[in-house]
């Protein structure tokens, strides 16, 4: 598996990931197609400024993007999130990508406590948090893309050894 920064050519992958009702079941539902080019442009700018990591997951046996892992700071906290397209799920790609990004964050040293807020019903994402070394920190109402839903709160300290 390769992790690379988001590129302008990732528009189609963004549309697949953000406008597909299956992809967005646990993230508050699909987003309108017309919002996606602006979202991609903002993400490209954020990555070129170095203030967030938006990594695309490319499996070894495919040239296609399988998903993303994003690490960014907002409201004084560091937050990580992830997505994998349905046809690439169940192969360990998300787990591996999250472990790699946490390793990069530990080496980088600036991210401190990293928070994740998977939906309470998102079994795979909660399993990823557990196996990647996050600790449970309660339950929250989280807003993503303008929608609010019930999430578990998980935290890992990237300034401590794995
Ligand atoms: C969550 C998601 C990224 C998982 O991707 P994936 O590549 O299939 O995940 P993996 O194959 O690495 O599996 C991760 C873990 O979940 C478990 N898992 C996978 N599918 C599962 C399912 N349907 N039910 C329960 N557990 C599941 C795996 O056994 C693995 O557990 P382990 O770490 O203890 O071995 C993917 O389902 C997705 O994109 N969902 C929609 C977007 C989303 O909800 N993102 C979360 C935002 S925080």
pLDDT tens per residue, range 92-131:
999 999 999 999 999 999 999 999 999 999 999 999 999 9
- Taking only the tens of pLDDT, the chain with its 162 residues reads 999 999 999 999 999 999 988 888 877 788 999 999 999 999 999 999 999 999 999 999 888 999 999 999 999 999 999 999 999 999 999 999 999 999 999 999 999 999 999 999 999 999 999 999 999 999 999 887 777 889 999 999 999 888
Query: Nearest residue CA, atom 45 of ligand 1?
Result: 83
Q: Can you give the residue ranges of every domain in the chain?
A: 2-157
Distance 110 CA to ligand 1 centre (A): 27
CA distances from 114 to 21, 36, 118, 132, 146 (A): 28, 26, 13, 12, 22
Best of 96, 118, 127 for a ligand 1 pocket test (most atoms within 8 Å of beta carbon): 127
CA nearest neighbour of 81 among 67, 63, 91: 67
Distance 49 CA to ligand 1 centre (A): 30
In the CATH hierarchy, which fold is given to the domain comprising 2-157?
Answer: Aminopeptidase (3.40.630)
* pLDDT value for 120: 93
Residues having CB within 6 Å of any atom of ligand 1: 23, 26-27, 81-84, 89-95, 116, 118, 122-125, 127-128, 131
């Amino acid at each position: 598996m390769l992790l690379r920064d988001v590129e302008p050519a990732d528009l189609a992958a963004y549309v697949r990931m953000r406008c597909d009702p299956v992809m967005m079941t646990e993230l508050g539902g699909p987003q309108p197609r017309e919002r996606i080019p602006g979202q991609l442009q903002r993400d490209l700018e954020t990555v070129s400024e170095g203030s967030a990591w938006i990594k695309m997951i490319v499996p070894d046996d495919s040239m296609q993007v399988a998903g993303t892992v994003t690490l960014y700071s907002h409201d004084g906290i560091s937050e990580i999130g992830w997505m994998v397209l349905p046809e690439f799920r169940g192969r360990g790609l998300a787990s591996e990508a999250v472990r790699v990004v946490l390793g990069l964050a530990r080496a980088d040293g600036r991210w401190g406590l990293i928070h994740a807020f998977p939906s309470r019903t998102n079994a795979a994402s909660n399993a990823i948090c557990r196996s990647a070394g996050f600790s449970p920190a309660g339950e929250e109402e989280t807003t993503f893309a303008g929608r609010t839903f019930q999430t578990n709160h998980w935290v890992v300290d990237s300034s401590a050894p794995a």
